[in-house]
Amino acid sequence: MQAETLFISDLHLCAARPETTRRFLSFLAGRAQDAERLYILGDLFDAYIGDDDQSSPNREVKSALGRLVDSGTSVFFQHGNRDFLAEEGLCRETGVGLLGDYAVIDLYGEPALITHGDLLCTDDVLYQKARIRVRANEWKRNALSKPLFIRQWYARWYRFKSGLDKGKKSRMIMDANPQAVIESIQRHGVSILIHGHTHRPAVHELDVGGKPARRFVLAEWKETGQALCWREGGTWMIENIL
Ligand code: MN
């Protein structure tokens, strides 16, 4: 059988969406086991307040990730804007590898750049400012030092506030900036970019300084799940995960 690599993002798993959790657990126990590698490009969890949070569905999801890794599929994770507090504890517990915000991976001889996608949304200046603040080690250490119940309370408040803010921002501002896309491709010397975050699934054909490039935007898991499947030899397809 040909080796294959799967990419998913933006599952936004939480107690309020049991159907998505069920779908993901069955994906991990089934479809994902055929793959050589699985890349999760962020926002796996809708809110992640620390590796010590073992509430549902985090606990089940972490055990299932561990079982997939044990079965022989390598799993890699990048932070999204919702789960950037995932740290070594998650890796130790599951065997999942944590990648940086931008990672160049080898897709059977072709380099590909993967990232969550929020860094590409440079028009959202307020978000980018807040991002720098909360990604600082000092902020993270301070947040994680709070008792779990305080973090849970804060996460609920944050989710409410984020819903309000989203309504006020234009669709344009919350999309990837075309220049930031081109620059990220050039800076990393690739012709494949894969990201999520914007919830606007598409395959964009680009011209980067006269060279063709392709940008894959992964879908959010909602009524159905979606994965990008890349096969050895360079063929790829978008798969629906039911
Ligand atoms: Mn996101």
Secondary structure (DSSP) of 71-127: TT-EEEE---SSSTT--HHHHHHH-PEEP-SEEEEEETTEEEEEE-SGGG-TT-HHH
CA of 80 to the centre of ligand 1 (A): 5
Q: What pLDDT is attached to residue 139?
A: 95
Entry pTM: 0.95
Spell out which residues have Cβ within 5 A of ligand 1, the ion.
43, 80-81, 197
pLDDT at 99: 98
Q: How far is the CA of 169 from the centre of ligand 1 (A)?
A: 15
Residue 18 CA, ligand 1 centroid: distance in Å: 19
Structure tokens given for 127? 């978000």
Q: How far is the CA of 119 from the centre of ligand 1 (A)?
A: 10
Taking Cα atoms as reference points, which of 116, 64, 75 lies closest to residue 97?
75
Reduce the secondary structure of 160-182 to three states and give it as a string. Answer: HHHHHHHHHCCCCCCCCCHHHHH
Q: From ligand 1's centre to the CA of 110, what distance in Å? A: 26
Q: What is the pLDDT of residue 159?
A: 80
Q: Given 3-state DSSP classes, what are the helix, strand and coil percentages for the chain, each rounded to the nearest 5?
A: 35, 25, 40
What pLDDT does residue 163 have? 77
Ligand 1: centre distance to CA 81 (Å)? 5
Of 234, 242, 240, 241, the closest CA to residue 4 belongs to 234
Residue 17 confidence (pLDDT) above 80: yes
Between the CA of 40 and the centroid of ligand 1 the distance, in Å, is 12
Neighbours of 49 (CB within 10 A): 23
DSSP one-letter code for 197: S
Question: Given this model, what pLDDT does residue 120 score?
Answer: 98
Cα of 145 to ligand 1 centre, how many Å? 24
Expressed in angstroms and rounded, the spacing between residue 85 Cα and the centre of ligand 1 is 13
